[in-house]
Structure formats: structure tokens, C-alpha cells
Amino acid sequence: MIEVKHVKKVFGKLEVLKDVSVEVKDGEVVVILGPSGSGKTTLLRCINFLENADSGELTVGDIQVDFKKASKKEILAIRRKTSFVFQNYNLFANKTAIENVMEGLVTARRVPKDIAQKRAKEALNWVGLSDKYDYYPSQLSGGQQQRVGIARAFVLDPEVILFDEPTSALDPELVGETLEIIKKVAEKGITMIVVTHEMSFAQEVADKVIFMDGGVVVEEGPPEEIFTNPKEERTKQFLSRIISLEPTYSI
């Protein structure tokens, strides 16, 4: 289980997260929606300590920490239970696909290189890149790079994977294939928190949808409730605008 309690984050004079609390059950897929600047990516980055929250508490499995007081040892323990898929891939340009996937196993988990290589190949096969082991990021399409990023996150066998708008940097024709891979991850029963604007994906895959705006959670609930009968006027406005503009992807 993941639980965030009363997290706050300020950048200068801008309060990006205002007393946000979120709970995610084991094996649950939670999709976070909201306009740009709503705080959803900042929330995700605080969970993995890519941003330092100003206050609040975080529980991941059996580890509970104070965001402000967390030690390096506690942060490392949280990161060992989580993995992150970035919207801009964040691959090492000087490493091949298989080396990118192996990196976390070898450096962070101290897995022997031969075992790490075997697991990395299995992960790349699973995301449909069995013929791209030795390709560098510059030789891969955006969709292929993102699949490497997903393989890199998946191979760590995390308790939770955090996806930060994983299709936002992709050309439209590559979005569907990436969503299909993320759906495969969900089918494995891995706990997932996904920040996205892909409404059809959220409706099909999510167990719970959270709508954020202005640094707060405006509304949350099962997708059938949020998409067909939202209670808050701000949620209704956002969904009516986004759904009318969204292309249809087959996943």
C-alpha cells in the first residue's frame, strides 16, 4: 500500500501541493488527471524523492517516513520499492538499450552483470524490443525509447511503478503501442500510479481516478463514476473539454 498524508510543496511563492492526501492499495492502478500546473507530476516526484516535499508523511509497504525529515537510508529504501517512468524517457545516451535496462540492477541492486543482462533481455523481449538490445537511444523511435524506459522500471521488480505522462512526448501514432505496454504492466498486478491525459486508457485500465487542480485533490473515485457522473463542477468542465479533443487509440 502507498499512502501520502498532508503533503505540501512550495516553489518560491507558488504553493504547488496544498495538503494533498492519497491512498493506493496493493495491486491498484490509480490514474491522476488534471490540467497543467495542477501539481500531479510534483506529487509523483515527491513520492520518489525526486522533489523534496516541505511537509507530510509517506508510507510505502512497511516503510513510513516524514517527507521533511527522511534520511538518506530511508529515501534509498523507498526508491528500492518504487521505479519511475519519465515522460522524456531519461535514457543514458551513451548506453545501449540493454545497458540502460541493466543499469539500475547493477548499480543500485548490486546484481551480478551476467544475471542483470539475462533479466534485461527478458524485459526488453517483453516490451517487444528483442531485436534492439544493442541500439543506442538516438537509433530508436520515441515509442521504442519509452518502451526501454518501461523495461528499465519493470526489471527492478518494484512494489509500485510511477508513470509521469508516459505518452506526452510521443508522436500521436506511437501513443497506442505505448499504452498497450503499460496495460500489460497493469495486468501483471503491479501497483501503478499514472499521471496522464489519456482518458480512454484511464477508463479502461484504472481502478481509481484522481482529479487534481490548483494543488489539491478535487475529486476521486472509480472511473465509471468520475467519467459518467462527476460530482464537482471543475471535474465536469475539465472532462468535457479533454474528452472532446482526445483521439481514439486501440489498446
Which distant-in-sequence residues (6+ apart) come within 8 Å of 68 by Cβ?
A: 52, 53, 54, 55, 56
The span from the CA of 107 to the CA of 130, in Å, is: 23
List Cβ neighbours of 108 (8 Å cut-off, separation of 6 or more): 79, 80, 156
* Of 153, 142, 98, 147, the residue nearest 120 (C-alpha): 98
Judge: domain 2-244, CATH 3.40.50.300: yes
Give the other-Cβ count within 10 Å of 109's Cβ.
12
Return per-residue pLDDT of the chain as tens, 251 residues: 899 999 999 999 999 999 999 999 999 999 999 999 999 999 999 999 999 999 999 999 999 999 999 999 999 999 999 999 999 999 999 999 999 999 999 998 999 999 999 999 999 999 999 999 999 999 999 999 999 999 999 999 999 999 999 999 998 888 999 999 999 999 999 999 999 999 999 999 999 999 999 999 999 999 999 999 999 999 999 999 887 655 555 55
pLDDT recorded at residue 241: 86
Q: Residue 243 has what pLDDT? A: 72
Report if pTM > 0.75.
yes
Give the list of residues 6+ apart from residue 174 with CB closer than 8 angstroms, or none. 141, 142, 143, 146, 167
Q: How many residues does the chain have?
A: 251
- What pLDDT sits at residue 244? 61
Q: What is the DSSP string of 76-141?
A: HHHHHHEEEE-TT----TTS-HHHHHHHIIIIIS---HHHHHHHHHHHHHHTT-TT-TT--GGGS-
Helices (H), the chain: 40-47, 72-81, 97-103, 113-126, 142-154, 172-187, 199-205, 223-228, 233-245
Residue extents of the structural domains in the chain: 2-244
**pLDDT on residue 172:** 86
Type of residue found at 9: K
